Structure formats: C-alpha cells, structure tokens
C-alpha cells in the first residue's frame, strides 16, 4: 500500500509530515488531503487562502492543493471573481515560497560560513536542518559544533 506524506506551506514556514499515512490510492489521498485542508482552514478562510498542501507518494510529489480552491466562503462570488481570488492567492503563495527559500538559503550560508570558521551555528530551525546536502535535502552533521584543530583549521 502506498505511503502518502504531506507538506504544508503556511505564512512563514514549510511544515513536513514525518510519518505519513498509508492509503489505497491517489484518489483517496486527495480526499484525505481535502479533509486536512478544510480542518486547517475552518473559521480562518481569509487568513489561510494562500496556504498550500503538497502531497507525496513514497517521497514523490503527486499533487498540491491551494486552500483557496476549497474555500466555501467564496461560493457567493461570480466565477470570474472566484478565479481572480484564486489567481491572487497563487501569486501570493509563489511570492511567499520564494521568500521562504531565500530565508533558508541565508540561514544555510550563515551556518556554512560559521562552520568553516569553527564557530557555533544553528543546526536546525523548526525541525528543518540548516545545511542541505548535494541533492538539496537538508542534513545535519553528526556534530554541529566543530572544534578547531591545531593551527586553527577544522
């Protein structure tokens, strides 16, 4: 049975599901994801419209849901207005994703410079490792505090 995991992009952070859930197929996973979105959005529709839930099957992305797509408070709008709201939400989400990645890159750069100088650095923030490996996945060295060896080199 395939294992589905989730990644939520909210206003400030990306929150990843560590364990996932076993479901029969992608259709059931979509229904399950829609239920999650509706629960997270409940009574906070306007504040969460540009949030996004990514769904992965065995670590491969199968689909994503923009919260505005399931926002029932938009039902009173015309189809043109509804599409315009969704378009603005997609644009806001794209901008927030770029800003999140820029912050991650800045933290990673600071950590790499500090580590190269034998200084303390932030190993993880909000459960995400600060330094990524060559594949783009974030990893944490076994010892985040590097002590300088003789001669000042690490």
pLDDT in tens, the chain (154 residues): 999 999 999 987 788 888 899 999 999 999 999 999 999 999 999 999 999 999 999 889 999 999 999 999 999 999 999 999 999 999 999 999 999 889 889 989 999 999 999 998 888 877 778 887 765 554 333 333 333 334 444 4
Characterize 34-49 residue by residue with b for buried, 16 or more Cβ atoms within 10 angstroms of its Cβ, and e for exposed. eebbeeebeeebeebb
User: What does the pLDDT read at residue 25?
Assistant: 94
Closest C-alpha among 4, 47, 49, 50 to residue 27: 4
pTM beyond 0.85: no
**Predicted pLDDT of residue 143:** 35
Q: How many domains does the chain have?
A: 1
Kindly give, in sequence order, each residue whose CB lies less than 8 Å from that of residue 20, ignoring residues fewer than 6 positions away: 3, 4, 5, 6, 56
What is the pLDDT at residue 82?
Answer: 94
Are 44 and 87 in contact, with CB atoms under 8 Å apart? Answer: no
pLDDT given at position 30: 97
Residue 27 domain boundaries: 3-152
Buried b (16+ CB within 10 A) or exposed e, 67-91: bbbbbeebeeeeeeebeebbeebee
Burial 120-151 (b: 16+ CB within 10 A, else e): ebeeeeeeebbbeeeeeeeeeeeebebeeeee
> Left, alpha or beta for 46 (phi > 0: left; psi -120 to 50: alpha)?
alpha
């Amino acid at each position: 049975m395939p294992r589905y995991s989730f990644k939520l992009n909210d206003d400030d952070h990306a929150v990843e599901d560590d364990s996932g859930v076993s479901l029969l197929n992608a259709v059931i996973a979509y229904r399950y994801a829609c239920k999650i979105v509706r629960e997270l959005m409940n009574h906070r529709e306007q504040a969460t419209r540009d949030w996004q839930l990514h769904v992965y099957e065995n670590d491969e992305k199968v689909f994503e849901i923009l919260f505005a797509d399931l926002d029932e408070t938009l039902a009173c709008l015309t189809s043109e207005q509804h599409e315009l709201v969704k378009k603005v939400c997609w644009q806001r989400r794209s901008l927030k994703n770029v800003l999140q990645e820029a912050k991650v890159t800045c933290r990673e750069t600071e950590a790499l410079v500090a580590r190269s100088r034998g200084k303390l650095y932030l190993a993880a923030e909000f459960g995400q490792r600060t330094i990524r490996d060559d594949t783009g996945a974030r990893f944490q060295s076994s010892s985040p505090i590097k002590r300088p060896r003789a001669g000042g080199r690490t």
